[in-house]
């Protein structure tokens, strides 16, 4: 019996111990599903405070219940920051961030450092899977050499696969189990092991011919969204200049039963995928002498949206109230990057607040799901700010950035002299205050 044949037997019988590195928005739902499916699991995270919270059975995310985390710790589970426990594993899955640096260059430090931490404990008969979004070639060009430096041969001793995460935090319509899983392996034997693992936890596995194909699949999914969002954001700017309600136009276009996909504009991109992933492909494409003008243009448009929103607020304050932005009392409603979750990664609200503060505005925010601003990579000056009550004062201006269901839109309207609505919660031109107090941006 070969090493990978034995691994497949353990995967089929769910006796394989599966380790997940990184217990954040991707890794935590994955380890919960693995445990629910019957696998013994080990979770690794280098954030001691985050790890302690999980060990106590408390969820760090509002879309994952404490009871789910508590059930995890009640099963055959180990949560640790010590990579020596990787020696006891049959599978290692990396679910760590792949951010961009300040020059929009890929930063794979989390992937490389996590794999190097586990590498001394890798052994024959294991599988290593990368779920973090990255450029095509990462699995073979970056991960494979680290593994084989341990004297192990990928495809014979170790199965190496790439299976991109498709998490959508807060989406109640699709659980991890219901979302098809794309899997690519370095060799056919690697792919076979990957399909066995993921078939045990999701309803549909989609095998592809290589890890590169799987890596590019994830980029295509998110680049398509980025390009379409860039288009609708540019259409919003044009419509506003022409005095046309873009949301009315989107509603009308959406009645076409074919050939049109509904996208709505907003204040800019947020989250861990759409603002970042396209630049992984633009960076890699340069290696082949290719320019990705379409992708980069959409990124440029989307990246400018916070500036557009702030410019609209400045103009409307002057027009309606005769106020300058310096010293104006401004409320940003919603800090999360999308509604009904407490995730603020890459949220346009952070950029909007920073721009306003740079102009001398007195800026506060309201978000019941994010009581204080945590530490972020780029917005250290905002750390520790606390959410305020909408009714705590009268606001010279307010911006709806995130349309949480819990947002008291009536109170926000009553307490704001000028209101910039980026999410159409007030119905655009159909509201009696449209063009007087409420403005779409």
Closest to 247 measured CA to CA, from 439, 411, 108, 112: 439
Rounding to the nearest 10 degrees, give the CA dihedral for residues 116, 120, 121, 126. 70
Other Cβ atoms within 10 Å of 74 Cβ, number? 10
Choose, from 95, 190, 273, 364, the residue flagged as catalytic: 273
Closest to 271 measured CA to CA, from 26, 439, 5, 103: 26
Closest to 338 measured CA to CA, from 435, 397, 422, 277: 422
Concerning whether 364 is annotated as a catalytic residue, the answer is no
Q: Report d(CA 168, CA 258) in Å as an integer.
A: 26
Closest to 361 measured CA to CA, from 408, 307, 313: 313
Question: Residue 391 in 3-state DSSP?
Answer: helix
- Cβ proximity of 400 and 435 under 8 Å: no
- Cβ proximity of 214 and 164 under 8 Å: yes
Please identify every residue annotated as catalytic: 273
């Amino acid at each position: 019996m070969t090493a990978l044949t034995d691994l497949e037997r353990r995967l089929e019988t769910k006796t394989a111990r599966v380790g997940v590195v990184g217990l954040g928005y991707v890794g935590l739902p994955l380890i919960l599903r693995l445990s629910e499916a019957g696998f013994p699991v080990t979770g690794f995270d280098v954030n001691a405070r985050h790890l302690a919270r999980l060990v106590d059975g408390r969820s760090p995310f509002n879309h994952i219940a404490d009871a789910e985390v508590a059930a995890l710790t009640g099963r055959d589970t180990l949560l640790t920051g010590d990579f020596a426990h990787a020696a006891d594993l049959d599978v290692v899955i990396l679910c760590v961030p792949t951010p961009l640096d300040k020059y929009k260059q890929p930063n794979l430090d989390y992937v490389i450092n996590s794999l190097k931490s586990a590498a001394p404990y890798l052994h024959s008969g294991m599988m290593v899977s990368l779920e973090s979004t990255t450029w095509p070639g990462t699995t073979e060009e970056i991960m494979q050499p680290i593994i084989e430096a341990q004297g192990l041969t990928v495809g014979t001793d170790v199965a190496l696969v790439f299976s991109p995460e498709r998490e959508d935090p807060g989406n109640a319509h699709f659980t991890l189990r219901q979302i098809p899983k794309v899997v690519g392996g370095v060799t056919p034997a690697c792919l076979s092991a990957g399909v066995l693992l993921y078939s045990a936890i999701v309803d549909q596995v989609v095998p592809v011919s290589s890890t590169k194909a799987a890596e590019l699949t994830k980029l295509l999914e998110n680049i398509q969204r980025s390009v379409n969002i860039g288009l609708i954001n540019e259409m919003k700017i044009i419509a506003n200049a022409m005095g046309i309600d873009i949301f009315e136009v989107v509603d009308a276009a959406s009645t076409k039963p074919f050939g049109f996909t509904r996208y709505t504009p907003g204040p800019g991109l947020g989250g861990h995928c759409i603002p970042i992933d396209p630049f992984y492909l633009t960076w890699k494409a340069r290696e082949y002498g290719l320019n990705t003008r379409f992708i980069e243009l959409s990124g440029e448009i989307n990246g400018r949206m916070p500036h557009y929103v702030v410019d609209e607020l400045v103009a409307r304050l002057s027009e309606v109230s005769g106020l300058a932005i310096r010293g104006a009392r401004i409320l940003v409603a919603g800090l999360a990057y999308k509604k009904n979750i407490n995730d603020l990664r890459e949220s346009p609200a952070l950029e909007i607040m920073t721009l306003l503060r740079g102009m001398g505005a007195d800026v506060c925010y309201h978000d019941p799901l994010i009581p204080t601003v945590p530490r972020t990579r780029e917005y250290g000056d905002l750390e520790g700010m606390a959410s305020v009550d909408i009714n705590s004062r009268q606001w010279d201006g307010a911006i709806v950035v995130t349309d949480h269901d819990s947002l008291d839109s009536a109170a926000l309207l009553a307490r704001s002299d000028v209101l910039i609505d980026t999410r159409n919660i007030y119905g655009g031109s159909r509201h009696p205050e449209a063009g007087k107090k409420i403005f779409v941006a």
